[in-house]
Structure 1
């Protein structure tokens, strides 16, 4: 039996969703192969939490824990932390130094994909299209007229390195820009402002399944809100339609782009890329490397549509990591 540490929580606004994802992984693990350990990673504490909710400290020197005098080491780490430090490369680099296998991509790919600006810049020479964008670092002069002349209105103001739609605003007038920028700066010190793409939003899961890069059935996202924000993602304010209501030709096209991005970046583990299709052209918004794994999340929905159970999905991730 392998000991699997399921890391969850994290240091960002996404910690609550991560705890749900981590618990789904814990409940879905194949108990005939794995002993699952829920490990909460917070700034103030790293602890193993047993079924009675008793906490045991994690020794950061070797990522072990001690229970009743017995030292427990882990054969693999299942990474379910959305946001920092699980999705931005910090935990990946730490586990690489300790030579502990983990289910996510390598630290460089994690850091790159977590930075929307850098990700889209790296993929652009390969012909992968993205929205017109304007970048701001905290403290820089905010030229609202310059922003509007470049990206137009309406536009989206986003933290460059945050997920779950925290800190994102849809801006309809120039006067709203400074407020939206302040909201985004609460999540990150870098901001990306993008032109509004009016089209069909789809989410494409790409995973390494049994050693082969596999595109999962595509999900179309129809938000009741102005865009696919936190409420739409997690509070039922959206329709998620799998498979997406797009032509077979477009399914092939957007799937091929998502797969190409995965392969260009030499990704491993899970990825979920978001696109908006405008006039027959897919524009990439971002790539998530620790996508939600709650029962409502898109990757589990897509895996189910492909006939892959959660248990098989998680077993595959663990077996490919080692």
Structure 2
């Protein structure tokens, strides 16, 4: 893990502040922020959080504030694209709060940001981590039609623990339906993330992986759940690194996921996973070599 520091880190932070933009990296105090922003072999990556700092949902694992929604900033898509171009990011991740209060739940705003980045920085790979849009296919299709390189949506945990972990408006089957639609209607890589340490059983984790592979999800990440504050869910267990490594092998070698990033400090948007996609999409490496590149970067 690389501490947030250096000229590159300062440059990224300044570009974001100048445009009043928000990143999940900062909002979630991500432990990988220094590595991602500073980069190791290139310009690095950043995860932008769209549509404000407040969420319409209240998931019990998440530290983002709930309620008191602000109007969308119509300049945000262009401002994000300008920041990406100025910083020279080779990979950008877009995510957002949930905006159930909006007629299209923010799908159009999300899609416009993708298009603005593509126009301003056509060489930049774009990954999006989207809400479930309440499982409405027309809204998910707005994201698909904007043609990002990776479309991610997180199931977060096993089916049994969806509540109390997630807001009741979310759900396991609803999340699977979003990922299934993306896989059927898009050429983008599909991706999801699972937190461990919430009280899940091994057979439940395995079944989740099976369910994800049955609908063709390409990439899965595992990370340790960490309690953001005392008002959030308690950590049920701190999972040993060997267990994370076992799930990586199960995902890749047994079940056939293209890539699995798995470790206590891994998060959904994680530099090693992004390097894997870059190796496939930009360098045209084969699967094994792309995995090797990603693993080497995370050592």
The two structures have a TM-score, normalised by structure 2, of 0.35
Q: Which has the higher contact order (CA 8 A, sep 6+)?
A: 1
Please state which structure has a larger fraction of its residues in helix: 2
The two structures have a TM-score, normalised by structure 1, of 0.33
Please state which structure has a larger fraction of its residues in strand: 1
